[in-house]
A = this chain, B = another copy of it.
Amino acid sequence: MQKVNISLVAFDADDTLWDNEPKYKKAEKFFVEILSKYVDEKVISDELLKTEIQNLPICGYGTKSFCMSMMETAMRITDFRISTKELSKIYDLAKSLLKHPVEVYEGVAETLEYMAKKYPLALITKGDTLEQERKLLGSGLMAKFDFIEIVNEKDEKTYSDLIRKFRVQPSNFLMIGNSPKSDILPVLKIGGNAVYIPSAELWTHESTDEAKFNSFGSCYRKIDKIRDLMTLTI
């Protein structure tokens, strides 16, 4: 990548640097299994997503919110027929995600090292402060970043505020992530640059139509794996 225009490179964390969504999907699968004896299997995931989205404005992102939404959905959609013992299994499963070891993707450490030699690096992630700090600490990647920002939402306003804080112009800012909705579109919209690295799993609420990115020309790139950053020209 050319240094010429970029003065700050920011990375998303979950499912960009380390594995995250598959753990939630696995938990959701178990959740569906437990509830399927009470409710039509097809509606369970939809009901969970509905609860999660409803709770977002007051609960925010992260595992504690996920735990609350699972408990709430289980009680509501079984009309309280689910047993306390079954509820406790769901609770334990959700809570265990808070202690799950962080599995950093292959190539991340060396790519960050390479990029850090050329640009100041920031990490910009949504979620719960304590939880994201714990993952960052567990990842061994903390020292690679000059700035760490844990925010409630990643929209155009968030990025505008952040780059103002970092004293960077949009055209000199590059964001790298796996979520079209949170990492790519809002950055392109404010005049920044974005590199999209699709992840194996994406939370339904984070999906958006990729086709619209192509109109942003050279400000937008899609790569297969994080290592490709080392040979990318933007």
Residues of chain A at the chain B interface (Cβ within 8 Å): 58-60, 64-65, 67-68, 71-72, 75, 78, 80-85, 87-88, 91, 95, 98-99, 128-131, 133-134, 150-152
**Residue from B84, B95, B128 within 8 A of A82 (CB atoms):** B84
Q: Which residues of B lie under 8 Å from residue A152 when comparing CB positions?
A: 129-130, 133
**Residue from B59, B84, B133 within 8 A of A87 (CB atoms):** B84
Asked if B98 and A59 sit within 8 Å, CB to CB, the answer is yes
Asked if A58 and B99 sit within 8 Å, CB to CB, the answer is yes
Distance from A74 Cβ to chain B, minimum over Cβ atoms (Å): 9
Q: List 28 A-B contacts (CB under 8 A).
A: A58-B98, A58-B99, A58-B130, A58-B134, A59-B64, A59-B130, A60-B129, A60-B130, A60-B131, A64-B64, A64-B68, A68-B68, A68-B95, A71-B91, A72-B91, A75-B84, A75-B87, A75-B88, A80-B83, A80-B88, A82-B84, A83-B84, A87-B87, A128-B129, A129-B129, A129-B152, A130-B152, A133-B152
**Residue from B81, B84, B131 within 8 A of A80 (CB atoms):** B84
Q: Which secondary structure dominates where chain A touches chain B? A: helix
Q: Sorted from nearest, which 7 A-B pairs have the closest CB atoms?
A: A60-B130, A64-B64, A80-B84, A58-B98, A75-B88, A80-B85, A130-B152
A67 to B58, CA, bound (A): 13
Q: A59-B130, A75-B87, A83-B84 are in contact. List 20 more A-B contacts (CB 8 A).
A: A58-B95, A58-B98, A58-B130, A58-B134, A59-B64, A64-B64, A64-B65, A67-B68, A68-B91, A68-B95, A71-B71, A75-B84, A75-B91, A78-B84, A80-B83, A84-B84, A129-B129, A129-B150, A129-B152, A130-B152
A111 to B24, CA, bound (A): 47
A78 to B87, CA, bound (A): 14
A147 to B98, CA, bound (A): 30
A99 to B150, CA, bound (A): 22
Q: Which residues of B lie under 8 Å from residue A133 when comparing CB positions?
A: 152
Distance from A83 Cβ to chain B, minimum over Cβ atoms (Å): 7
Distance from A165 Cβ to chain B, minimum over Cβ atoms (Å): 13
Query: Which of A60, A64, A131 has its CB near the most chain B CB atoms (within 10 A)?
Result: A64
Distance from A231 Cβ to chain B, minimum over Cβ atoms (Å): 37
